Structure 1
Amino acid sequence: MTRGPTLPAHHLPYLPRPLDAFNTAPADETRALLLHCLHSLRWSDRIAAHRPYPDPAALLAAADEAAYDLSPADLADALAGESLPELPEDTYSAAHMALSAAHAAYEARFGHAFVIYLGDVPADEVIDRILEAIRSRLTNDPEEERVTAADELRRLARGRLLALLRGARAGATGHIAPAPGR
């Protein structure tokens, strides 16, 4: 069986992938964007300095490694830049009061904001998950909680970095911008 003539290839204009934009953005712009993912200058400098990344998995692996290498001072700086997760708009005021009280107790015990990764939690379960986690983690000793908080920061950074890549858009200059609401 013979085939007919092949149609000419249809070429689309080149649209940079989010990782391409991340890899080629100016270092100072990239560091500033990375600070939205984790409030650590050391972490953001390290991630920006090791570009280009061949794929998102390599970027996430580097982000994890840099997060694991944070010193206690770096961790304290990163925690100082965090605040309580936002609650869904329809959360009852009693839930806000319970969360405020639990968070105050947590901050009094550990000296920093409570951090938790909620990326995979359905919106209707957020408040319960936060309150449950705060109450549970209040029983930790300070060293155990430092390790837990560091792991939650690492998970937050990964989630924010993925959101940044998903929401990144190339501007006229090819620079990347954070996803809306980040």
Structure 2
Amino acid sequence: MPAPSPPADEPVGRPAGRRPPGLTRFNTAPASSVTTALLSCCASPRWARRIAAHRPYPDVDALLAAADEASYDLSAADLDEALAGESSPGLHPAAPPAAHTALRAAHAAYEASFGHAFVICLHGFRPDEQPDQVLAGIRSRLGNDRDEERVVAADELRRLARARLTHVLAHVWANHPAGGDSGRPDSRPDSPSVPV
């Protein structure tokens, strides 16, 4: 019987219990720096404070599990804050003007229906696949009622936070002793998610 595949939002190809240099720095940095860096992954202050408060983490898997648990525990107000901190994914500037127009119209329709930016985790998709994923996601999710869409958006936000946190640990905290520029919420690590 073959081993089950990891979930789509799980990093692949790394052994369990991994402890990259970024995690050591994350565990030992001042709480304010860590909280600010976490806010670049998810704009819920309660989510960020909760993860920062439970340091040190023995490995990345424990940190990601804590991030997931904190995401599942977001109150309605926390989710509103987190969604307010998001921006809808765009297209590469070289995309045809008609594609930009179509995407702007789709985002406007989504935001008018649900009152927040469209969020989708594009981790695992090649850059050339991402525009189609965004448009297909918006079209599909516009059929949801408000309650259904909050559940979907919350899960996409959880997956985004997880992918961003993995990116921050591997690429920012691993290379900068104090977390570098990742501490600013406006320097969100977009590579696993947005923009496209």
TM range (shorter): 0.7 to 0.9
RMSD: 1.6
Q: Is the 8 A contact 1:21 1:170 kept in 2?
A: no
Give the TM-score, by structure 2 length: 0.80
Deviation at 1:169, TM superposition (A): 3.5
Partner of 1:107: 111
Distance 1:117 1:181 in 2: 14
Aligned residues of 2:25 and 2:178 also touching (Cα < 8 A): yes
Distance 1:108 1:124 in 2: 27
Aligned to 2:144: 140
Aligned to 2:82: 78
If the length of structure 1 is used for normalisation, what is the TM-score? 0.86
Q: 1:150-179 CA deviation, whole Å, 9 max, x = no partner?
A: 0000000000000001112354xx322229
Aligned twin of 1:34: 38
Unpaired runs of 5+ residues, structure 2, are 1-19, 190-196
Q: How many residues align?
A: 165
CA distance in 2, matches of 1:170, 1:52: 19
State the partner residue of 2:63.
59
SS where residue 123 of structure 1 aligns?
coil
What amino acid sits opposite 1:164 in the alignment?
V
The amino acid that maps onto 1:103 is H
Q: Which moved more, 1:126-135 or 1:55-64?
A: 126-135
Secondary structure in 1 matching 2:122: coil
Indicate the residue corresponding to 1:43 in structure 2.
47
1:175 and 2:178 matched: yes
**Unmatched 5+ residue regions in structure 1?**
1-15
Task: Return the letter of the residue paired with 2:174.
Answer: R
Q: Find the counterpart in structure 2 of residue 155 from structure 1.
A: 159
The answer for the alignment partner of 1:13 in structure 2 is: none
1:86 is displaced (CA, Å) by 3.9
Larger RCO (CA under 8 A, 6+ residues apart): 2
For 1:6-17, list aligned pairs within 5 A. 17=21
Q: Deviations over 1:84-139 (max 9, x none)?
A: 12423321111111110011000000000000000111111111110110010000
